[in-house]
Amino acid sequence: MTDTTLDHAHDDSHGHGSIAQQADNWKTAFWLYLASEVVIFSVLIAMFVLYRLEFPARIKEVHEAAGVLLVAINTFLLLTSSWAMVMGLHQMRKGDRAGLIRWFSIMCALGALFVGLQYVEYQTLANEGITLYSDSFGMRFYAPTAFHGFHVIVGVLWGLLVINHARKGGYSAERTIGIEVFGLYWHFVDVVWIVLFTVIYLI
């Protein structure tokens, strides 16, 4: 081939074709998406941090009123569902589609339970008089947690879609990118919760 060759002799596109290529496209894209999610979440979390540093006494008050039990359970739910998620992927990589569906059902159930318990927690706090606009604690607490809760809801729905797709015979031991991308999302939501749990409830 010399400098002046304009194209390859045979018709063959690059970029779109292979599974590995597509997998890499999706993963890169999704990591980039998560990068921007990091920023959005951190704006909301920063609002809480500002308050936490300014009014530590008020935080203590709320902690005492709310207790840590409920959120500790919630943390476990989310951690377990993360584990279930990755076990599902593990099964699929071994070619076990039924295993994937099994684990993912657990994952979705746990995620849904998490949302339910968060609702209970919100109710408890509302009974304490803490609402979105009640005082400057409320808004700084609800904004990040509700935004996270919203992500959990989206995750559960997405998980159901994955299950549905698997039921119809989607995915194979080699072609798991759809699950992996969803996994990135779900684990990211988990990581955010790890941060929220520490920053808002523990410290």
Partner 1 sequence: MAQVHEHAPAAFTDKAIPGTEKEAVDAAAPHNHDVTVIMGRTLPFPVYTVVFGILAAITIVEVIISELPEGTIGNILLIVLSLIKAVLVVAFYMHLREESPLYTAILVVPVVLVVIATLFLTSVPLGNY
Partner 2 sequence: MATISRPMPGAIPAPKRLRISDYLRWSVDHKVIGVQYMALAFFGFIVGGALAMMIRWELLTPALDVMPDGQAYNQLFTMHGSIMIFVWIIPMFAGFGNYLVPLMLGAKDMAFPWLNAFAFWLLPPAVLLMLLGYFAGQSEAGWTSYPPLSTLYSMDGQTLWALSLHLAGISSILGAINFIVTIKNMRPEGMGYFQMPLFVWAILATSIIIVLATPFLAGALTLLILDRVAGTAFFDPSRGGDVLVWQNVFWFYSHPAVYIMVLPGFGILSEVLSVHARKPIFGYRAIALSSMAIALLGFTVWAHHMFTSLTPALRIPFMITSMIIAVPTGIKIFSWLGTLWGGKIHFRASMLFALGFLSMFVIGGITGVMLASVPVDIHLHDTYFVVSHFHFVLYGGSVFAIYAGLYHWWPKITGRMLDERLGRLHFVLTYLGFFFTFFPQHLVGMQGMPRRVSVYAPEFQGWNTVISLAAFVLGISTFVLLYAMAQSLIAGKRAGANPWRALTLEWATTSPPPPSNFVGDPIPYKDPYGYGTESAFRYLEEVDRRFGIGEPSEGKINTPAPAPAAGD
Give which of 201, 12, 172 is closest to 92, Cα–Cα: 172
Task: Enumerate residues 62-121 that contact partner 1 by CB under 8 A.
Answer: 68, 72, 75-76, 79-80, 82-83, 85-87, 89-90, 93-94
Q: Are 88 and 103 in contact (CB under 8 A)?
A: yes
Give which of 137, 128, 148, 146 is closest to 194, Cα–Cα: 148
Rounded distance, CA 148 to CA 156, Å?
12
C-beta of 36 vs 69, nearer to partner 2:
36
Tokens at 91, concatenated = 């099964």
Rounded distance, CA 153 to CA 112, Å?
7
Give which of 32, 3, 16 is closest to 181, Cα–Cα: 32
Q: Check binding of 68 to partner 2 (CB under 8 A).
A: no
Rounded distance, CA 79 to CA 73, Å?
10
**Binding track, positions 121-160, relative to partner 2; x by CB under 8 A:** -----------xx-xx-xxx--x---x-------------
C-beta of 30: minimal distance to partner 1 in Å?
Answer: 9
C-beta of 80 vs 124, nearer to partner 1:
80
Q: Check binding of 3 to partner 2 (CB under 8 A).
A: yes
CB count, 10 Å around CB of 47? 16
Query: Which stretch of DSSP H or E encloses residue 112?
Result: helix 97-127
Tokens at 37, concatenated = 């999610």
C-beta of 91 vs 166, nearer to partner 1:
91
Q: Check binding of 49 to partner 1 (CB under 8 A).
A: yes
**Residues at the site binding partner 1, with contacts judged by CB under 8 A:** 8, 12, 14-15, 17-21, 23-24, 27-28, 31-32, 34-36, 38-39, 42-43, 45-46, 49-50, 53-54, 60, 68, 72, 75-76, 79-80, 82-83, 85-87, 89-90, 93-94, 174, 176, 180, 183-184, 187-188, 190-191, 194-195, 197-198, 201-203
Residues that bind partner 2 (CB under 8 A): 1-16, 21, 24-25, 28-29, 32-33, 35-40, 42-44, 47, 50-51, 132-133, 135-136, 138-140, 143, 147
